[in-house]
Structure 1
Amino acid sequence: MVARIAIFVPSLRGGGAERVMVTLANGFAERGHRVDLVLVQAEGPYLPEVCSAVRIVNLNKGRVLATLVPLARYLRRERPHAMLSALNHANIIAILARKVSGAPTRMVVSEHNSLTSLQETRAGRRMLRLMRRFYPLADGVVAVSRAMAAELHEQLDIPLDRISAIPNPVDIDAIRAQARSVPDHPWLKSDQPPVILAVGRLEPQKDYPTLLEAFARVRKNNDARLVILGEGSLRAELEERIHHLELQDVVDMPGFQPNPFGWMGACSVYVLSSRYEGLPTSLVQAMACGAKIVSTDCPTGPAEILEDGKWGRLVPVGDANALSHAIAESLQSKPLAVTERAQHFSASRAIDQYLDILTAC
């Protein structure tokens, strides 16, 4: 069955969920489906990665809430067989737009972060109430990990038979090919000390202050360097902390990098220090590049990816001492066959699972 599929996402500004949506859009198109990538604003570094077979529909609005009417008009006019949306605020607008449009479009929403992130603020708790009200109106809900699927069931009262746990698609072959392009950075030369790498937005979720504190402890007994790839609102605060810890000569934050995989392939240890995740695709990407892994055992995803520590070290969230010990031990340990585990998260498998849900009658 060839289907008309719409994918609704705010933008392609560099978040993990946005990259997943691009991978899915390209994968659906490669399988012969007609795909519209519907964006609140057609901007972001992932835009050039969208293949020519995918039609970009730019709603050209400044915020997600303003797209309710334009999105409803799109659904009424184009009448796609199914629409997949990502990120909770966009999911709610997508559900409402389908209702307003009266279109028979099958609606599937996807959730990419643990609900833990929403329980900490008044706005987050308000969002949880909205999700509890509207998510049951969708025809299907996708969680990116089994633990997150359990959260959606328990906290939003969504029946388990309406939730599908599908890991984020990872193009293993493409990542390995890009990993061979080692960046021209002096720290990545073969005669340099080991590099510890983290990739992700400079936001509270990633808990880089704990990583910096852990790295300062690692430095007491190890000649190593730390690179953090990504941009975000905490750059100034993190730079100040780096200076306070006297790490300015051994920590580099070169910003967002379109090809982080060359860094992953060249690093000695890849670290995820997050307070919460959904299913952190960067862990799988780093494993596809053969990197040794250290991660917090945060909700949700790392324990699932690493099979409770079989493929890398898991430490408690926010524990700089445990994180420093795990990094130091990894620097001295032998590599594991993590590329084998990465194959479990291949893009082909995830794309097929999404299509089964989207093209269901």
Structure 2
Amino acid sequence: MSHSKMSTNTRRVTFLIESLGIGGAERVVSNLATAFDGNGWAVDVVVTQERGPLERDLSDGVVVRSLDANRTLTSVPQFVEYLRDRRPDALVANMTHVNVVAAIAVRLARVDTTLAVVEHSMLSDRVERMDGRKEWLTAKLAGRVYPWADAIVTVSDNLAEDVATVTGVDRDSITTIYNPIVTDELFEQADESVTHEWFAGDGPPVVLTVGRLEVRKDLPTLLRAFRRLLERRACRLVICGDGPERESLETLVAELGIAEQVKFVGWADNPYKYMHRADAFVLSSFAEGFSNVLAEALAMGCPIVSTDCGGPAEILEEGTWGRLVPVGDEDALTTAIGKTLTESVDSDGLRQRADAFTTAAAYRNYAELLEGKS
């Protein structure tokens, strides 16, 4: 694709994603769109389906448009029309099936736009754990069309390896840009008061986990590890989030006999006030392309234990900023949480590490990439 240099007057950038529902990639798009708006770009966020609650977090200058498609993969004609009408200088597509739509639509529209496709989650995990055939076909299609893009972006080096392996795309053609997760608002929200009595400060230490209650987060292993920990010491577990596994997790808590020490607080607009006050933050996932909540916990100066499941090893610099344990290893998780609760914590060091995941850093990297490719 030949590209003229982006014009010096207002540059236009479009972010394409399925929806602005609650999720990691959606949060990234919301933060990035706001950052581009703040840096003088004309910004559109185009959703292939419904808008969703994160729309309210966007800055006033960002325009949201919906293609109102029943399925993302059928939204190509509407998106071609959009591209011909708006002619953005740059287009940043997010998540595999959306990326495929973007690559095909840019070809069909024959517009001069710099296309970056962004992968957020482990393709190998999706092929293994989810609707394998559908995910495999999407990944293979991605392998065919990604070379049409001007840039392929992943949110960690670990994920870049995974994407290259599953799609067959050349690893050297993939750029890593960490997620824009740490914003000034996080620190303001962290100071909000917490009504939950467990955070009053004089009771047993509180272990916290935050995330969607889905199979990939492997919370049963965390619950069993926590029950073992209770045999050694008094502590409490707060689970912040909601999702399809909530009922079975509540049943497991009752079966393990730990209902007095575990609280489900549901989905929270502001989990940072909990992270700021918790004694340890635990991530027990099977696979994470990045892990926004780990970057947030670092910014809050909260001690971390995580499974070694992809992106977290990079965020924690191979265990420098928190303990890494093997996926699904109940024993190792119990020991790691126990040790973390007894140690003094270098909160300043954790917060400094979180500087790598600020919105400003991600904006600089994306702007440089898009302008360099144009």
The TM-score bracket by the shorter chain reads over 0.9
Map of 1:25 onto structure 2:
33
Please give the secondary structure, in 2, of the residue aligned with 1:89. Answer: helix
Question: Is the Cα–Cα contact under 8 Å of residues 96 and 139 in structure 2 kept in the other structure?
Answer: no
Residue-pair matches, total: 360
1:88 to 2:100 alignment: no
Map of 1:327 onto structure 2:
337
Map of 2:303 onto structure 1:
292
Question: Is the Cα–Cα contact under 8 Å of residues 118 and 128 in structure 1 kept in the other structure?
Answer: no
Map of 1:304 onto structure 2:
314
Worse-superposed segment, 154-163 or 141-150:
154-163
Q: Which amino acid aligns with 1:38?
A: V
Structure 1 residue 153 displacement after superposition = 2.8
Structure 1 residue 77 displacement after superposition = 0.9
**For 1:174-232, what per-residue CA distance to the aligned partner results, in whole angstroms no more than 9, with x for missing partners?**
22221111332122112222211111111111111111111111111221111122221
1:243 to 2:254 alignment: yes
Question: Is the Cα–Cα contact under 8 Å of residues 182 and 355 in structure 2 kept in the other structure?
Answer: no
Please give the secondary structure, in 2, of the residue aligned with 1:295. Answer: strand
Question: Is the Cα–Cα contact under 8 Å of residues 80 and 106 in structure 2 kept in the other structure?
Answer: yes
Map of 2:354 onto structure 1:
342
Question: Is the Cα–Cα contact under 8 Å of residues 72 and 101 in structure 2 kept in the other structure?
Answer: yes
Runs of 5+ in structure 1 lacking a partner? none
Question: Is the Cα–Cα contact under 8 Å of residues 46 and 64 in structure 2 kept in the other structure?
Answer: yes
Runs of 5+ in structure 2 lacking a partner? 1-7
**For 1:100-152, what per-residue CA distance to the aligned partner results, in whole angstroms no more than 9, with x for missing partners?**
22222221110011222133123322222122122222111111111222223
Q: Distance in 2 between matches of 1:286 and 1:57?
A: 32
1:49 to 2:57 alignment: yes
Q: Which amino acid aligns with 2:226?
A: F
1:163 to 2:165 alignment: no
Q: Distance in 1 between matches of 2:122 and 2:193?
A: 33
Map of 1:101 onto structure 2:
109
Question: Is the Cα–Cα contact under 8 Å of residues 37 and 56 in structure 1 kept in the other structure?
Answer: yes
Q: Distance in 2 between matches of 1:182 and 1:331?
A: 23
Please give the secondary structure, in 2, of the residue aligned with 1:123. Answer: helix
Worse-superposed segment, 157-166 or 134-143:
157-166
Worse-superposed segment, 238-247 or 169-178:
169-178
1:78 to 2:86 alignment: yes
Q: Distance in 1 between matches of 2:296 and 2:133?
A: 34
Q: Distance in 2 between matches of 1:185 and 1:173?
A: 24
Map of 1:354 onto structure 2:
366
Structure 1 residue 13 displacement after superposition = 1.4
Q: Matches of residues 149-228 of structure 1 in structure 2 within 5 Å?
A: 149-228=160-239
What's the TM-score, normalizing by structure 2?
0.92
Q: Distance in 1 between matches of 2:201 and 2:126?
A: 43
* Equivalent of 1:68 in 49, 59, 76: 76
Structure 1 residue 10 displacement after superposition = 0.9
Map of 1:133 onto structure 2:
144
Worse-superposed segment, 245-254 or 107-116:
245-254
Q: Distance in 2 between matches of 1:256 and 1:69?
A: 36
Question: Is the Cα–Cα contact under 8 Å of residues 172 and 285 in structure 1 kept in the other structure?
Answer: no
Map of 2:278 onto structure 1:
267
**For 1:248-298, what per-residue CA distance to the aligned partner results, in whole angstroms no more than 9, with x for missing partners?**
222122222111111110111000111111111211110100100000011
Q: Distance in 1 between matches of 2:55 and 2:148?
A: 30
Please give the secondary structure, in 1, of the residue aligned with 2:294. Answer: helix
Please give the secondary structure, in 2, of the residue aligned with 1:196. Answer: strand
Q: Distance in 1 between matches of 2:367 and 2:173?
A: 15
Q: Distance in 2 between matches of 1:11 and 1:229?
A: 22
- Residues 189 and 45 (structure 1), Cα distance of their counterparts in 2 relative to 1, 3 Å cut: farther
Q: Distance in 1 between matches of 2:329 and 2:216?
A: 15
Q: Distance in 2 between matches of 1:76 and 1:176?
A: 41
Q: Which amino acid aligns with 2:11?
A: A
**For 1:303-356, what per-residue CA distance to the aligned partner results, in whole angstroms no more than 9, with x for missing partners?**
111111111100000001110110111111111221111112222111111111
Question: Is the Cα–Cα contact under 8 Å of residues 117 and 124 in structure 1 kept in the other structure?
Answer: no
Structure 1 residue 173 displacement after superposition = 2.9
Question: Is the Cα–Cα contact under 8 Å of residues 51 and 66 in structure 2 kept in the other structure?
Answer: no
Q: Distance in 1 between matches of 2:265 and 2:79?
A: 37
Q: Which amino acid aligns with 1:338?
A: L
Worse-superposed segment, 37-46 or 240-249:
37-46
Paired-residue identity, %:
38
Structure 1 residue 92 displacement after superposition = 0.9
Structure 1 residue 65 displacement after superposition = 2.3
Structure 1 residue 161 displacement after superposition = 4.3
Map of 1:15 onto structure 2:
23
What's the TM-score, normalizing by structure 1?
0.96
Q: Distance in 2 between matches of 1:4 and 1:148?
A: 28
Question: Is the Cα–Cα contact under 8 Å of residues 182 and 266 in structure 1 kept in the other structure?
Answer: no
Question: Is the Cα–Cα contact under 8 Å of residues 182 and 299 in structure 2 kept in the other structure?
Answer: no
